[in-house]
Amino acid sequence: MGLSVNKLAKLLKSKEFLIKNIYSISDLCVYVEILHINSGENLFLYIPSKYEIASSEEYNVSRLHYLEVDEYGNVAKDYTDDIDNEELAEKYDEIELDDSNDISKEEDVEEYLTKNYKCPVSLKESNKEDINEIKEIFRQLQRLKYCVKNTGYKLCILYKYYLCCLKRDESYECYSVENMNINNRRRIVVSIDLETMYDKMNNMGKDIVNIRKGIYKVLDKNQRRHVDSLQKMMEYKANFSLLSTEVMNEKEKYNNYLYKLDSMLLRVVNSENNMLEDIVKINNKYRDEGGIKTLHNDIEKSNLMGMKERELHNIRETKQEIISNIILVKSKLESLSLKIDQICFDNIVMMDKIIKNFEYIRKI
């Protein structure tokens, strides 16, 4: 649309910016990294495809290769189910930009970190470690986007030879960059699209300084909160043996119930068998002998049989009640045992990850 890198460079120079690097696809500019000469701050200028600004060999040009990411940055379903955007928006305060370039007022934020992120990428040629890092980067962008939500600016994070970007519509892009390596350290850069830049030209130099300071402030504030939350979580360590003992006592209680119920059931079953034997004996004793004696015997037998059958009915009701209680207690014991097994296993996996993360911090 009549634009060129040289014209863009001239415009930027008038606002105290120099072109540092061009990131291109098919020799067209996608991102232009510019440097504010009075602050030393970098800014990524996004060039929408409709402008078709050709890259120029007069500048340092790095070629981009687009990596497959959906419009929301989703990749790992297990991290995207329960995200609470309102909670994130509170935690990562928006940076406000005004004429005085004052950084935003901080609001109180509560509750803990999100488990969820929207970040899927398909990196068939990248190793597992890189894929996991990129997922974590998108996870960070998901949180940090609230810092710049209505400022007109967005954020990019560079890692090794990857460029992960938050777009104007808050979806995500990921590129691999030829001949770039930043020593495995993540680097955050403020970005802006070409159209928005024209509205921000006069304050852009101060804005990016204030945005970076604002992000540092948010990160520092959240670090303190996260450490406090972790400290509270770690306090459970002191109570772990006590909690385990309580659970074992509960399981022992259920086992004692089962022992008593099994003993009761055994006695009731013996009583039931004895009662059945008594009924058989009555049937054998009072056989049809004919005449008056037979009528007398039938009445006597009927009375005895009625009494025994009532006793047998009561015994079987008691037996059924005991069996119902055994089933109930077993279900409670099994549920508790399985749930504790799951919790212990999951916590071991998570604690292992936490320990490895702390060890990673020491190596940074």
Which residue did the predictor score with more confidence, 119 or 38? 38
Rounded to an integer, the average pLDDT of 46-57 is: 89
**Domains along the sequence of the chain with CATH:** 5-234 (no CATH), 240-363 (1.10.287)
- What was the pLDDT predicted at 99? 53
Q: Which amino acid is it at 247? A: V
Cα(19)–Cα(23) distance, integer angstroms: 11
Summarised one tens digit per residue, pLDDT across range 99-149 is 544 333 333 322 332 222 222 334 455 567 788 888 888 888 988 899 898
Average pLDDT estimate for 228-236: 75
- Which tens digits make up the pLDDT trace of 238-249? 677 777 888 899
Mean pLDDT of 182-191: 84
**pLDDT the model gives residue 309:** 87
Report how far apart, in Å, the C-alpha atoms of 128 and of each of 64, 135, 208 are.
21, 11, 34
Position 206 confidence tier, pLDDT thresholds 50, 70, 90: very high
Question: When comparing pLDDT for 242 and 71, which is higher?
Answer: 242
- In this structure, which amino acid lies at residue 153? Y
Query: Pairing relation of β-strands 187-193 and 154-159?
Result: antiparallel
Q: Which residues lie below 8 Å from residue 229, measured CB to CB, with a gap of 6+? A: 112, 113
The residue whose two tokens read 């488990």 is 115
Per-residue burial over 157-184, b if 16 or more Cβ lie within 10 Å, else e, is bbbbbbbbbbeeeeebbbbbbeebeeee
Confidence (pLDDT) at 168? 84
Q: Is 116 helix (H, G, I), strand (E, B) or coil?
A: coil
